[in-house]
């Protein structure tokens, strides 16, 4: 398959999946997935393995609470192979609602969050076979006020700013 048609195919598969998630449509989300999917939110270890567990994850932890209404997705890069795509993105939102897959047990804080994510999406045929979702949980916790960064090598929203502008100074190294 040529590179443009491979990209179009994988984009179409993943975009249909994301649209169903964002629309809060459990059955349509699951219809975009392979028969034996797995999902892992790495920092929280929340996800599902197989059709039953995957359905439970979506029904109890994601659909209806994926992100608050003001969520913005800013793609930094997307990489393709025959059976997966990898997104590097910045996700911004105001923590005005429960986000159980990302912040389990944390009540909305009303704080603005900007975090760097990496999402590895496996593709099997024309379905999503897996999602591995990684983000810097420490930077999120700093931004919502649950982690004091004093004396720690964590930055809060600075990580997203540095990704957008690699020329920003290193906050932990004084070149002078």
Of 60, 53, 65, 81, residue with least CA distance to 21: 65
pLDDT band for 10, please (50, 70, 90 cuts). Answer: very high
pLDDT in tens, 33-84: 999 999 999 999 999 999 999 899 988 888 877 788 899 999 999 999 999 9
SS3 state of residue 36? strand
Q: What is the pTM of this model?
A: 0.89
Q: Are the C-beta atoms of residues 121 and 12 closer than 8 Å to each other?
A: no
pLDDT band for 4, please (50, 70, 90 cuts). Answer: confident
Q: Are the C-beta atoms of residues 117 and 131 closer than 8 Å to each other?
A: no
- CA 94 – CA 110 distance, rounded (Å): 6
CATH architecture of the domain formed by 3-164: Roll (3.10)
Residues 8-31, mean pLDDT to the nearest whole number: 92
pLDDT band for 104, please (50, 70, 90 cuts). Answer: very high
Q: Considering the chain, what is the average pLDDT of its residues?
A: 92
- CA 143 – CA 52 distance, rounded (Å): 34
Please report the pLDDT score of residue 124 as a whole number. Answer: 96
Domain range annotation of the chain:
3-164
């Amino acid at each position: 398959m040529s590179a443009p048609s491979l990209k179009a195919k994988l984009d179409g598969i993943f975009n249909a999946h994301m649209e169903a998630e964002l629309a809060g449509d459990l059955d349509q989300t699951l219809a975009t997935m392979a028969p034996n999917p797995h999902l892992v939110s790495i920092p929280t270890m929340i996800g599902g393995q197989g059709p039953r567990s995957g359905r439970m994850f979506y029904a109890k932890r994601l659909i209806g609470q994926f992100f608050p209404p003001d969520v913005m997705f800013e793609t930094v890069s997307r990489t393709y192979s025959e059976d997966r795509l990898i997104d590097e993105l910045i996700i911004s939102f105001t923590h005005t609602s429960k986000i159980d897959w990302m912040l389990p047990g944390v009540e909305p804080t009303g704080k603005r969050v900007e975090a760097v994510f990496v999402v590895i999406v496996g593709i099997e045929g024309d379905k999503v076979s897996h999602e591995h979702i990684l983000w810097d949980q420490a930077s999120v916790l700093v931004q919502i006020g649950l982690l004091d960064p004093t004396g720690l090598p964590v930055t809060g929203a600075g990580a997203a700013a540095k990704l957008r502008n690699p020329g920003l100074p290193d906050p932990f190294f004084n070149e002078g």
